Structure formats: structure tokens, C-alpha cells
């Protein structure tokens, strides 16, 4: 019963967001503020003025009939506004997308045929289904994995291609040439045969647009230039002088297209192009939406925007249009014109529909060279030189992706270049996340922050390493290799403090790697501690039992970590006698006494004669009555000398030990019992060996060292035994 109930709940959790995305139009009109009606109406009218020439021009880039661009403009604006998320987004024909569609379709069907038109409609439906599915299953975050460099490279390459492809109609030359190089060669070989009236109309269109924009950038320069060019053709009857014109447009509502929706062969041929168009369309739209939201403060829903783009492309394909995307130029005009809600885009589509019926007859005199002039200027604007320079100066990986996508767009199949750019974006992301920044850090001069200080020597006992990235399966080898290599380069650093403040997640591979590090440091007689673990990382450590393996007391608080390790783990002898660095705040008040480095250890021959005693063996010698070894008399009991500092001695010591700090042994003449065996004790054995060296140099030969020092004594449970 409970299993069925859980299944129903999970099904409801999966369906509920999809229903919410699909009923967006209802929510839009139920929450619409009538105060926004006037600004939305004016913004819609303003966008419609530039939408008309753009839709026709961009359709020429896609090598489709202008009628399809008009239908796509009307339906894209209305449907995209109804189901989209951004208040200022405007959906419809787009220049780079149109070029990508042309490149994809010409590889499958010959342009200018009825099959080409059908394939364009099918591709729009496929793009719509792909984008709609992405939104409904809430995969909107995937758009973040495509580098901005791909968009800049593709847009720049597309701009160059569009300009090159428009040179022939702009000059009145016959179409021809394969690829970028082939088209340029064809133009150069036929340049002497350019058609002067056609060229004059195109050049005049460009000059007029530039002049109007300099006078007032708010004026619809492309529309004014195209109207004037049409009047010139009509008055001078240039159409009779072989100046190519658009021809009569049909003033009808967008009709339902007759598409082979279940033709698997055609679907297979169009799939790669549809995937590229869908992916680039989503990335472009998301980038535009984010740029608008940054200025308005709107909170976007990327999944809803995916649904909006999918619905728009689906409807555009079914009703005799072709695939489109969000348009930066029209969205920017929509924003500057004061659009408050997506209703502004809906109004622009309605006004476009009215214009279709009113202005369709005028298209009979609209010269193609004028549209080519508009497209050449648009293509020039697509090459963002400032952004290209910024990317070039930034990370080499981003620059390489941009150049690769740009060159691929120019000289390869465009859809392949786009998909290649997206793949390399993912590769770059994987490379960056699998090689996170990891570095050893030390406190700054004020001991308030940990920073990377390559110019300063690290603490000889404690390594502090900070990881900037997730500990997941792709990154753990890199992190482990860095720490292992660092440990090999600093063999005396037996303790490791891992700072995980910048680690958001940790998977089981990360846990396994951490376990290996802990074992390695403990095998060296040290240990590992951690700070900065967030809730998710802590839960992973708890559920995988790593916390019990490490020890809950080894996950420290940020402010107390250094002090705790310093006072409880580090060897004070090294701090006092050997370390000149004073890396931490806790080091600053340590007394600086005679350096142990000035007291040489015995050579290997001498060192071999220094005997050691195990903790349990020493305890038995100190307590013969309890051990049952039958030793009698005080002379049989060793004389234990603790050579540590008073602070350490007071924290815990062998009950029978006498405190004689190492500096006293090194710098003063001391008297020790000549008739008793002397056992030297320190924290780990390091200072005991120094003391034994000094004592043997003055003739005290009956000296032993407690193996492992107080650490071993405590580990054997003898410290507690003595206290009780």
C-alpha cells in the first residue's frame, strides 16, 4: 500500500511542474496588471515595425519563401509570449538560426523545391519537440554548460557567412559557389558582370540606413529604406530592367502545413541539424533573457523559457513557418520601448498579422538587393569585436572554443561546427571541474585569513591544503595526486589540515580518496583533520561511515582548528628548537631557545647503541609488584626523565617521571643517578634521542629511550592506568 502511495506521490511530483509550465497563458492573463496595457501596446507596435523587414530578410538567409518568415514572425511572437518566461523576450526568425537552418537543409534537400519547404517545417516541429521536452523534464540548467564562447564564435562566423552569401544578390550576380571559399571565388570571377541598377539599389539602401541611424537610432531605418527602395523600383520600373524583387505575397492567415510527421527517414536525416538548431536556439534565448533580467531584476524560469521556445517552434512548423529563436535586436527594442510583460510580444504578432494584410501588395516591388543590404549591415552587427577581444584576452580554453567554432562555421558544415563547439564546451567544463584549484595556504600577516603564500616556507609539521572544487569521481585523482606529491615533497609534515570551504559536494569516490589520504598520513605517524565541511558533505561522510573512520573530533571548527592541532598534535620540540618560521598565531609566544640543529645526532654506529624500551615493558619495570616479574629493590626500577616542556608535562606524564626539560640537559651540567638505568621520555622520541646523544657525550651511557614517547604510552592505555 505504502509503495503504491509513494509511486503516486512521485508521479504527481513529476507531472505537476509540467502542468504548471503548460498552463502559463492562463496564469499570464489572470495576473495581468491593466496598468501595463498601454506600455505593452506601444512596445508591441514599435517591435512590429522592425519585425516586418527582419522576418523577410532572415527568410532569405534560410533560402525559404518570404511568406514562411512572415508566418513564423506572427506565430513565434504570439506563442513565445504566451508560454515564455522573460517579460521582454521576442521570439521569431533569427539571423544566425536562419543560416544554420539553411546549412542543415541544403545537405538533405535542394533549396528552392517544395521538398525543401516541407523539410523546413519538419525541422521546426522537431526542434519544438526537442525544446519542449527539455523544458517539461526540467533540464533548463543544461544551457549553462554551453560556453558563451560558442555563441560569440558562431555569431561572428554566421555574420561573415551571411554577408558573403548576400554579395551575389546584392550585386545582381547569379547564385553559385560551394562553401565560403567557393562563393568568394565565384564572386571574384563574375565581378565584372555585376548588374548596376541592382547594385545601386543595394548600396543606396545601406547608405540610407546608416544616415537614418545617425540622425535618430529610434527610427525604423530598415523599414524606411525598404519602403523607399520599393518606391524607386516602382517609379523607375526597375523590375523591368532585371532588378529582382520579392514578388506578390499572399495575405492569408498562417495555414496548416501538410507535413510528413511520421517519415522516419526524413526525421533521421534532419536530426543532427534539428539538434544543433534547438541547442543554439535555447542557448541564445537564455543568454538574451539573462541580459534582460539583469537590468529589470526579473526572476527567470529557464524551464518555462524552454517550454515557450518549444511551443513556438512547434506551432511555427505546423502552421507553414520555420524554426526561430529569441532575437536580441527585437528583444532589446522591446525592452527600450517599455515592455512590461510578454503581452507586448503578443501585440507585436497581432500588429504583424494586420501588416501582412495591409502591406502584402507592396512586396511586389520590394528589391532583393535592398534586403541584401539590410542583411549585410545586420551581419556586420553580429560580429561583436569587443566581446571577441575580451574572450581572446581571457582564458585560453574559452579563446580556443571561440576560434574553433568561428572557423568551423566558416569552413565546415555549420551544424557540425555548432555541435563541436558545444561538445568542447562540455569538455572544457569537465576539464576545469576535474582539475580544481588546490593549493597549500598559510595565514596572512595578521593571522586573519588563509591565503596562498608561495614565497613563505610552510610549517614543518602541518600542511594546510585548500580545495576549490567538488570532490567527485572526475576530480578525486587530481586532488589525491596533488596532496600525495605535496606530502612527498614535505616528508616531515605528518599532519594535514584540509580546508573544504569551497567543496559543495562529495561523492563516494571522494570519500574513498579521503580514506586513502587518512591511511597514508596515519601510516606515517600523523593524522588528517578537516574544516569547512558543509551540510551535504557532512551527510555524505556520515552515511558512508567516513566520519567514524576519521573520528568526529577530527572535523574541526574553523576558528579553533589551528589551536587544537597545535596544542594537541604538533611536537613542541620542533616548534621551539627547530622551526624558525613561526607560521601561526600560536607560534608567536613560544620561547626561542638553543636550536636542536646545533646539537648533532650521533652517527649511525653510535645511534645503533641507543637502546629503546617498549611502553608496556617500562610500565612493568616501574610496577614490579603488579607485573609479577619479581624485581625487588629501588635500584631495579628505572629512573625516568621527562625531557618535555613544563606545559606538556602538566598535561599528562608518567607518574614516576622527573621533569628535566631538554634545554636543561643541553645547556647545564646535570646530575643523574649513576647506579640506575635512565629512561628518557618525550612526546614522540625525537627530543629523547637528542638528549641521549648529549648524555652519552658526557659519559652517561646507561640510557634508554621510550619507544614512541608519550604518544605510544597513551595509545597503550598506560597514562590512564597510572592516573588511577
Residues designated catalytic: 682
What DSSP element (H or E) covers 480? helix 476-489
Q: What is the Cα–Cα distance from 501 to 488, expressed in whole angstroms? A: 25
3-state SS assignment for residue 440? strand
Q: What is the Cα–Cα distance from 171 to 169, expressed in whole angstroms? A: 5
Nearest CA among 636, 686, 685 for reference residue 656: 636
3-state SS assignment for residue 589? coil
What DSSP element (H or E) covers 59? helix 37-61
The 658-659 sheet, strands edge to edge: 611-613, 703-706, 678-681, 639-642, 658-659
Fill in the DSSP letter of residue 578: I
Please state, in angstroms and as integers, the Cα–Cα distance from residue 175 to each residue in 160, 171, 248, 451, 721, following that order. Answer: 17, 11, 22, 63, 99
Nearest CA among 701, 689, 670, 682 for reference residue 599: 689
Q: Which residues contact 255 (CB under 8 A, 6 or more apart)?
A: 319, 320
Strands 462-468 and 495-499, by their bridges, are parallel
- Asked if 419 contacts 168 with a C-beta cutoff of 8 angstroms, the reply is no
C-alpha cell at 53: 523587414
C-alpha cell at 326: 529569441
Nearest CA among 284, 363, 368 for reference residue 329: 284
Question: Number of helices and strands (H, E) in the chain?
Answer: 32, 13
Burial group, residue 500, by CB count within 10 angstroms (0-12, 13-18, 19+) = buried
Q: What is the Cα–Cα distance from 724 to 720, expressed in whole angstroms? A: 6
Q: What is the Cα–Cα distance from 266 to 275, expressed in whole angstroms? A: 14
Please state, in angstroms and as integers, the Cα–Cα distance from residue 458 to each residue in 400, 424, 441, 448, 453, following that order. Answer: 37, 38, 8, 17, 9
What DSSP element (H or E) covers 466? strand 462-468
- Asked if 69 contacts 323 with a C-beta cutoff of 8 angstroms, the reply is no
Amino acid at each position: 500500500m505504502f509503495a503504491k502511495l509513494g509511486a503516486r506521490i512521485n508521479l504527481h511530483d513529476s507531472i505537476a511542474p509540467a502542468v504548471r509550465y503548460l498552463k502559463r497563458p492562463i496564469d499570464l492573463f489572470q495576473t495581468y496588471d491593466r496598468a501595463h496595457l498601454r506600455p505593452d501596446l506601444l512596445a508591441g507596435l514599435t517591435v512590429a515595425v522592425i519585425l516586418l523587414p527582419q522576418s523577410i530578410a532572415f527568410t532569405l538567409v534560410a533560402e525559404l519563401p518570404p511568406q514562411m518568415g512572415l508566418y513564423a514572425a506572427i506565430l513565434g511572437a504570439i506563442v513565445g509570449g504566451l508560454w515564455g518566461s522573460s517579460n521582454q523576450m521576442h521570439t521569431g526568425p533569427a539571423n544566425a538560426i536562419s543560416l544554420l537552418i539553411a546549412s542543415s537543409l541544403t545537405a538533405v534537400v535542394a533549396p528552392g523545391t517544395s521538398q525543401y519547404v516541407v523539410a523546413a517545417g519538419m525541422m521546426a516541429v522537431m526542434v519544438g519537440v526537442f525544446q519542449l521536452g527539455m523544458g517539461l523534464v526540467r533540464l533548463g540548467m543544461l544551457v549553462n554548460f554551453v560556453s558563451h564562447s560558442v555563441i560569440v564564435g558562431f555569431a561572428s562566423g554566421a555574420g561573415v557567412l551571411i554577408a558573403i552569401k548576400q554579395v551575389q544578390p546584392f550585386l545582381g550576380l547569379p547564385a553559385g559557389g560551394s562553401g565560403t571559399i567557393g562563393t568568394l571565388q565565384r564572386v571574384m570571377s563574375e565581378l565584372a558582370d555585376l548588374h548596376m541598377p541592382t547594385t545601386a539599389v543595394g548600396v543606396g539602401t545601406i547608405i540610407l540606413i546608416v544616415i537614418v541611424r545617425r540622425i535618430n537610432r529610434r527610427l525604423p531605418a530598415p523599414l524606411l529604406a525598404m519602403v523607399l527602395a520599393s518606391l524607386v523600383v516602382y517609379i523607375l520600373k526597375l523590375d523591368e530592367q532585371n532588378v529582382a524583387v520579392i514578388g506578390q505575397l499572399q495575405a492569408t492567415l498562417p495555414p496548416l502545413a501538410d507535413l510528413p510527421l511520421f517519415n522516419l527517414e526524413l526525421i533521421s536525416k534532419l536530426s543532427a541539424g534539428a539538434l544543433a538548431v534547438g541547442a543554439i536556439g535555447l542557448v541564445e534565448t537564455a543568454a538574451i533573457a539573462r541580459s534582460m533580467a539583469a537590468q529589470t531584476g526579473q526572476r527567470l524560469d529557464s524551464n518555462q523559457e524552454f517550454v515557450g521556445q518549444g511551443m513556438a517552434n512547434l506551432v511555427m512548423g505546423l502552421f507553414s513557418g520555420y524554426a526561430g529563436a529569441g532575437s536580441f535586436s527585437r528583444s532589446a527594442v522591446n525592452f527600450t520601448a517599455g515592455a512590461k510583460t510578454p503581452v507586448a510580444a503578443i501585440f507585436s504578432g497581432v500588429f504583424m498579422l494586420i501588416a501582412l494584410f495591409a502591406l502584402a501588395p507592396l512586396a511586389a516591388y520590394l528589391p532583393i538587393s535592398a534586403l541584401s543590404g539590410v542583411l549585410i549591415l545586420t551581419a556586420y552587427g553580429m560580429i561583436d569585436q569587443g566581446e571577441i577581444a575580451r574572450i581572446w584576452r581571457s582564458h585560453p580554453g574559452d579563446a580556443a572554443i571561440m576560434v574553433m567554432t568561428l572557423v568551423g562555421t566558416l569552413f565546415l558544415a555549420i551544424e557540425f561546427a555548432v555541435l563541436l563547439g558545444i561538445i568542447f564546451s562540455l569538455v572544457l567544463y569537465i576539464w576545469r571541474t576535474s582539475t580544481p584549484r588546490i593549493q597549500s595556504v598559510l595565514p596572512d600577516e595578521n593571522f586573519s585569513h588563509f591565503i596562498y603564500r608561495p614565497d613563505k616556507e610552510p610549517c614543518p609539521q602541518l600542511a594546510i591544503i585548500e580545495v576549490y572544487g567538488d570532490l567527485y569521481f572526475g576530480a578525486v585523482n587530481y586532488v589525491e595526486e596533488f596532496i600525495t606529491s605535496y606530502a612527498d615533497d614535505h616528508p616531515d609534515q605528518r599532519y594535514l589540515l584540509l580546508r573544504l570551504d569551497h567543496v559543495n559536494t562529495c561523492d563516494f569516490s571522494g570519500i574513498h580518496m579521503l580514506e586513502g589520504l587518512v591511511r597514508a598520513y596515519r601510516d606515517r605517524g600523523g593524522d588528517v583533520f578537516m574544516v569547512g565541511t558543509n551540510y551535504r558533505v557532512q551527510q555524505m561522510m556520515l552515511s558512508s561511515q567516513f566520519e567514524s573512520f576519521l573520528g568526529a573530533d577530527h572535523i574541526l571548527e574553523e576558528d579553533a582548528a589551528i589551536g587544537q592541532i597545535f596544542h594537541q598534535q604538533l611536537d613542541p620540540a620542533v616548534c621551539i628548537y627547530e622551526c624558525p618560521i613561526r607560521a601561526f598565531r600560536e607560534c608567536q609566544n613560544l620561547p626561542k631557545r638553543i636550536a636542536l640543529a646545533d646539537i648533532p645526532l650521533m652517527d649511525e654506529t653510535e645511534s645503533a647503541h641507543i637502546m629503546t624500551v617498549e611502553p608496556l615493558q617500562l610500565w612493568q619495570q616501574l610496577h614490579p609488584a603488579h607485573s609479577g616479574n619479581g624485581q625487588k629493590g629501588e635500584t631495579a626500577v628505572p629512573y625516568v626523565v621527562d625531557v618535555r616542556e613544563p606545559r606538556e608535562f602538566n598535561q599528562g606524564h608518567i607518574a614516576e617521571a622527573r621533569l628535566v626539560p631538554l634545554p636543561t640537559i643541553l645547556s647545564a651540567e646535570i646530575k643523574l643517578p649513576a647506579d640506575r638505568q635512565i629512561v628518557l621520555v618525550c612526546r614522540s622520541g625525537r627530543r629523547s634521542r637528542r638528549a641521549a646523544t648529549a648524555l652519552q657525550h658526557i659519559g652517561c651511557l646507561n640510557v634508554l629511550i621510550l619507544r614512541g614517547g608519550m604518544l605510544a604510552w597513551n595509545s597503550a592505555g598506560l597514562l590512564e592506568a597510572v592516573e588511577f
